[in-house]
Structure 1
Amino acid sequence: MHLNTEYFEELWLSDNQKKEPTVEFWDFRAEEYNLSSATADAQLNRKKKVQALIDQEIINAESTILDIGCGSGQFAVELAKKTKKVVGLDFSEKMLRYASANAAAAGLKNSEFIHSDWDHFHYTEPFDLVIASMSPAIHKPDHLYKMMEYSRGYCYLSSFVERHSSLKEKLYHLTDQNYVRQFNKMNYIFNLLWTKGVFPELTYETGIHKRIFPLAKAKEIYTRELSVLESPEQANCIHQYLEAIAENEVITESLQQRKGELIWKEP
């Protein structure tokens, strides 16, 4: 079998059975996401990533950067402190409000945030670095190719390779749904790049991530994540189980995860 570009394109499209989160979902998550991204550990991790990009001579003080799916903007803000200009886009207006506020709090004048999804995004010029950090925006081959077209230098893309939650698996079982483990799009992206003569650097980061929510918030989040808002019976199953396992009205979810990071230079 000849493993060409079309083979991996078709494999990616046929294997992706995961529903992409909606604007409503990310608007709902914006406050919690902004807070979780502002922890001391998260801030230190971003500083290290930005310094690594500087050390590898991928970015410098004159670089322009595009951040696809920038969320609440913390990575864009950290990049803007060290570069000429950062443009972030996201389809969640609430996320962008936090992004603008975070940039203003850092005293930055060189960041721009645009309300758009990736399909409809247009800009007049390419960028020295285009990033999609843990962004669901890149979920088919055309999205990857558009990302590459906007780069006149490097691309950076990260995503979960493995992610498992015993709590989430139990909730799927209770609602008679199949628990779909983390979809590994990194495999297809890596191979697609190779078929195009692009040889990315691939690194992994493994760890355990804890999500901690008040019980009431957890009920709202998990009914959305399992897409059972329209099913009172399934939603009630989730609520009852969360009530049973809550400790002091708090739900803690432990996720075993491995992130993959790809960096490549455009030919």
Structure 2
Amino acid sequence: MGVQNNFWDKKSKTYNKFDGKLNEFQERFFKVLDKFGVDFEGKTLIDIGCGTGVYTLYLATLCKSVLGIDSSEGMLYELNLNLYDLDYLNVETKLVSFDEFETDRKFDIAFLTMSPALKTEADYEKFLNLANLRVYMNWEEKRSSSLVDPFFKKYGYDNLNRNRAIYLQEYLDNNAISYKTEILTETRIAKRSFEEAFENACWHLEISGLKFNKNEVKENIKSRLKDGYIDDVIKSKMRVLVF
């Protein structure tokens, strides 16, 4: 399914997993959805770009049934490991990219968070037609990372990234489709060992398609370590769209 999926397979081992409860940010997200009148109880739902199932498996406790699709075999492997332990019987997963995904099913809710699956107007139309209600959350602006940002400044950054909520919002505006929206922000600190920091920095540079010197990255991270660790201050701003 392409080189990009290999990046997500690599990321899957360290990506967040469902641990049975929501964190503080996720609780705020679902409070927004509740305010917007989204009711998951007894509904059929498709989770697009479901990853390791952080939301998929939580939604399974509310919904009648959940289908999670993702183009990364590694991500779905982690989800299915967790699913096996939980023994949920109402979750189905499918290894497929969104542009290759085909179905005759109509879901109650189409759900997508932080996935780059929607890239074109055809993708937006497909997302619209999957369900009666759609829940979408993605970047409002580029994430800030005290670990990675110095490397983007040095090696460049792809400013044409389409994985932003504004493009879907513009599509909805242009097609006179009403929606509810809210901005969510989060600041967190990830304490990383040298190996974790190096792997994280290289992953973000590689998936952005940048050419960089690994030795320079290593030396830079080593110079910033304190007692063998580096505090990565991560600031995020996301937009929620419900329509």
Q: Normalized against structure 1, the TM-score is what?
A: 0.79
| AA matched with 2:8 | W
Cα displacement string for residues 110-149 of structure 1 (whole angstroms, at most 9, x for unaligned residues): 0001101111111231111001111111223222211111
Classify the secondary structure of the residue corresponding to 1:71: coil
What's the counterpart of residue 241 of structure 1?
220
Per the alignment, residue 69 of structure 2 pairs with: 89
Deviation, structure 1 residue 190: 1.3
The superposition leaves residues 14-52 of structure 1 with CA deviations (integer Å, 9 ceiling, x where unpaired) of: xxxxxx9811111111121134x649662x544564566
Q: Deviations over 1:183-237 (max 9, x none)?
A: 6732221121122221110101112133333211321221231129999961111
Q: Secondary structure at the match of 2:235?
A: strand
**Distance (whole Å) between structure 1 residues aligned to residue 182 and residue 171 of structure 2:** 17
Q: Residue deviations 1:72-121, cap 9 Å, x none?
A: 11211111111110000111111112212223333310000110111111
What is the distance in 2 between the residues matched to 1:228 and 1:60?
Answer: 34
- Matched residue, 1:251: 230
Letter matched to residue 93 of structure 1: E
CA contact (8 A) 2:60 2:88 kept: yes
Contact 2:147 2:197 survives alignment (8 Å): no
**Conserved in 2, the CA contact under 8 Å of 1:169 and 1:179?**
no
Q: Provide the rounded CA distance (Å) in 1 between the counterparts of 2:49 and 2:25.
A: 18
For the pair 1:226 / 2:205, whether they are aligned, the reply is yes
Q: In 2, Cα distance between the equivalents of 1:53 and 1:60?
A: 10
Q: Which one of 28, 34, 39 corresponds to residue 16 of structure 2?
A: 34
1:189 corresponds in structure 2 to 168
5+ long unaligned stretches in structure 2: none
Tell whether the 8 Å contact from 2:21 to 2:58 is kept in structure 1 after alignment. no
CA contact (8 A) 2:20 2:58 kept: no
**1:24 aligned onto 2:12:** no
Look up the SS of the partner of 1:155 in the other structure.
strand
Residues 54/203 of structure 1: CA separation in 2 closer, same or farther (3 Å cut): closer
The aligned counterpart of 1:109 is: 89
| Distance apart, 1:158 and its partner CA | 0.5
Q: How does 1:1-267 map to 2 (within 5 A)?
A: 22-35=4-17, 38=19, 42=23, 45-46=25-26, 49-50=29-30, 53=33, 57-151=37-131, 153-162=132-141, 163-174=143-154, 176-178=155-157, 180=159, 185-227=164-206, 234-264=213-243
Q: In 2, are the aligned partners of 1:68 and 1:130 still within 8 Å (CA)? A: yes
**CA-CA distance at 1:160 after TM superposition:** 1.4
1:182 deviates by: 7.3
SS in 2 for 1:59: coil
Q: Using a 3 Å threshold, how does the CA distance of structure 1 residues 180 and 164 change in structure 2: closer, same or farther? A: farther
Q: Shift in Å at residue 246 of structure 1?
A: 1.6
Higher helix fraction (1 or 2):
1
For 2:7, the aligned partner's letter is: F
Is contact 1:47-1:78 (8 Å) kept?
no
Letter in 2 for 1:22: Q
CA RMSD, aligned part only? 3.0
Q: Hey, what's the Cα distance between the residues in 2 that align with 1:85 and 1:181?
A: 36
SS for the counterpart of 2:12 is helix
- Residues 89, 116 of structure 1: 8 Å contact kept: yes
